[in-house]
Chains A and B, each alone.
Chain A
Amino acid sequence: MRRVWLLAAYVLPAIIVWMTLGLLVNLLPLSAAALVLMAGYGVFYGVLEAGGMARPAPPGSRWQVPSGWVRGVSRRRRFVVWGSLLGPGFATRNPYAGFWLLPLAVAAVGNIGYGVLLAAALGAAHSTGRALGLLRDVKDVDVNSYLQSTLRSMYWRKVDGFVLLVAAGAAVMTYAYRL
């Protein structure tokens, strides 16, 4: 039951936030520009991440959920606070560059209905991954092991880089077909 609560607390706010974004960015004719930006951003950060280069860091903030918001509150309320902030993925640290390709992909759709649908799928996928990562983290990983966490982070950075490069290639081809 606790897992269902956790999943719901992460997934529902994420879908709402992402659907709103999907609606807003598809009201404007941004599709072609978004595809070009996807290609450039994907190649630039894809090469950096796949090549193991740490700089420049991907765009993002270092904001984290203030401890006062989750201290001394019920477990369910804690889930809701964490879920609504971490599930959508915008409000906290994004150590991997792949995240900022996602709003560009939504803008690239160029159709309100499909844009909102893709945005909902992205919100669901990101928040489910986040919640599952958290559940796995609590269960299997020694959270005190900074070294282990760093090594895995390097692995995921590389994976993120290669997925970015694939997405950049797809964006180039999609743009080329529209010319």
Chain B
Amino acid sequence: MSWSRAPLAAGAIALGLGAGWALSGRIVTVAILAVLLAAENGYSKAYSP
């Protein structure tokens, strides 16, 4: 990984940890992120060469 992206990657993990903590570790955090990921994944497939 390029070092310039390492803080962003760490920030992304911290964001997930923070979201999980804010919702007291409830599975709904994972569920919301999964729905976002599903929509992003479906949409982005149109751009696979």
Residue numbers of A with Cβ under 8 A of B are: 35, 38, 43, 46-48, 50-53, 89, 93-96, 98-99, 101-102, 105-106, 108-110, 114, 118, 121-123, 125-134, 136-137, 141, 146, 149-150, 152-153, 155-156, 159-178
Contacts and interface: CB of A to CB of B under 8 A. Distances in A.
Nearest to A104: B34
20 contacts: A47-B1, A99-B41, A108-B30, A126-B42, A133-B44, A136-B46, A150-B49, A153-B44, A153-B49, A161-B9, A162-B9, A165-B12, A166-B16, A167-B33, A167-B37, A168-B16, A171-B30, A173-B21, A173-B25, A174-B30
Interface of B: 1-2, 5, 8-9, 12-21, 24-27, 29-31, 33-49
A141 B24 CA distance: 43
Nearest to A135: B46
B-side interface mostly: helix
Nearest to B43: A129
B48 A153 contact: yes
B43 A173 contact: no
Contacts, number: 195
A64 B26 CA distance: 38
B16 A96 contact: no
A163 B33 contact: yes
A82 to B, nearest CB: 12
Given A169-B16, A173-B17, A105 B31 contact: yes
B19 A169 contact: yes
Given A132-B43, A160-B44, 8 more contacts: A102-B34, A102-B41, A110-B27, A125-B42, A128-B42, A146-B49, A162-B9, A169-B13
A126 B41 contact: yes
A149 B13 contact: no
Contacts of A168: 13, 16
A166 B39 CA distance: 15
Contact of B29 (A123, A156, A174): A174
